[in-house]
Every structure is written in structure tokens, then in C-alpha cells.
Amino acid sequence: MRMLTSGERAKVRALTMISLVMVVAAAAVRATAPSPFAPRVHVRWHAGVENDRRADLERRFSLLNGVRREDDTWEYDLADLAPASVTALVEHPDVADTHYIERETGGISADAPAGTIRLRDRRLAAFVHSWFFDWFLLFCASSIVVSGVWLASNADPRD
């Protein structure tokens, strides 16, 4: 096997550095991107709210995939995350209590589990959490390993 010239070594080092920067940047984007899925929240309805009334309110507040948890408490995917809509839900007279909703801000708690409904307005988040993005991270990480091994195996004994 022939030794790399100093120019070739510089190109391999540049590839390693570019790959390293890309992995770090992509990992940072992945870590800060929100989930592409609607959060799961709990809503406890006041006793006596009829099924038809509850169904109307579920449509109004974009509460999807409802599952009864206990008595009057249901778990939903919340598709409308606008603070005004969330606040209106929390303050509605038929709502007794909520969980995973920050009442003061109309936001969703950071520890709210992800639901199953993909949010349409989070296309970038869906891309960042896709198999293609995983492949891109793996490709960049692999190029760091391969170029590092290549440089180490072609080390000039005079260096």
C-alpha cells in the first residue's frame, strides 16, 4: 500500500473535520427539534357532561384518539397547540382538570408523552426525526471513522 502524500492527507483531514462539524450540527438540530407528533394530554370532564357534549368539545379543541382512563378522565392527542386554544380548553366550564398542560402559559409540559397523530405544521421536525436523517447521521459518523482509520494506517513513520 502506498503512503498518502501530504496533499492527500490534508484532504482526508478536511473530510474528517467537515464530517465532524456535520455530525455535531445534525445532532444539535435533532436534540432541539420538537416531536412531529401531537402531545398526549389528560382531560377530566366535570361529572354529568354527556357523551354528545364531550364529543363536540373534543372536535372543538382538536382532542383526538381519546381513551377513557378512569371515570371522567380521558387521554387525548392534542392537535391544536395554539396557546389561545389550549387556554380556552383549560378554562372551559365543562373541564374539571387537565394534566400535561401548563395552565399559566397555555403551553404543553415538556414531559408530555408523544401521541400518534403527526402534526401538519411540523414538517421539519418530521424530517429531522426520519430514517433519512438517521442515515445521514450514520453516514457522517462513518466517514469520520473511516478517514480516521485511513489516516492512522497511513501514518508516515518519519512524522
pLDDT per residue as tens digits for the range 100-155 = 999 888 899 988 999 988 888 778 888 888 899 999 999 989 999 988 888 887 76
Per the domain annotation, does 158 fall within a domain?
Answer: no
User: The domain spanning residue 42 has which CATH number?
Assistant: 3.30.70
Per the domain annotation, does 98 fall within a domain?
Answer: yes
Per the domain annotation, does 1 fall within a domain?
Answer: no
Ramachandran assignment for 65, one of left (phi > 0), alpha (psi -120 to 50 degrees), beta (any other): left
Instruction: Check if the beta carbon of residue 29 is closer than 8 Å to that of residue 120.
Output: no
Do residues 105 and 136 share a domain? no
Do residues 141 and 100 share a domain? no
Q: Model pTM greater than 0.85?
A: no
Instruction: State the DSSP H helix or E strand holding residue 138, giving kind and residue range, or none if neither.
Output: helix 131-153
pLDDT for residue 157 is more than 60: no
The segment with the largest mean pLDDT, out of 7-11, 141-145, 154-158, is: 141-145
Do residues 45 and 109 share a domain? yes
Per the domain annotation, does 22 fall within a domain?
Answer: yes
Do residues 51 and 106 share a domain? yes
Q: What is the DSSP letter of 34?
A: P
Do residues 114 and 86 share a domain? yes
Do residues 25 and 78 share a domain? no
Do residues 56 and 16 share a domain? no
Range of the domain at 132: 6-33+127-153
Per the domain annotation, does 159 fall within a domain?
Answer: no
Do residues 68 and 139 share a domain? no
How many domains are contained in the chain?
A: 2
Confidence category of residue 1, pLDDT binned at 50, 70, 90: low
Do residues 42 and 117 share a domain? yes
Per the domain annotation, does 100 fall within a domain?
Answer: yes
Summarised one tens digit per residue, pLDDT across range 19-54 is 999 999 999 988 888 888 999 999 999 998 999 999
Do residues 70 and 99 share a domain? yes
CA distance 144 to 104: 46
Task: Name which of 62, 55, 57 is nearest 38 in CA terms.
Answer: 62
Question: Which long-range contacts (C-beta less than 8 Å, at least 24 apart) are formed by 152-157?
Answer: 154/1, 154/3, 154/4, 154/9, 156/3
Do residues 51 and 111 share a domain? yes
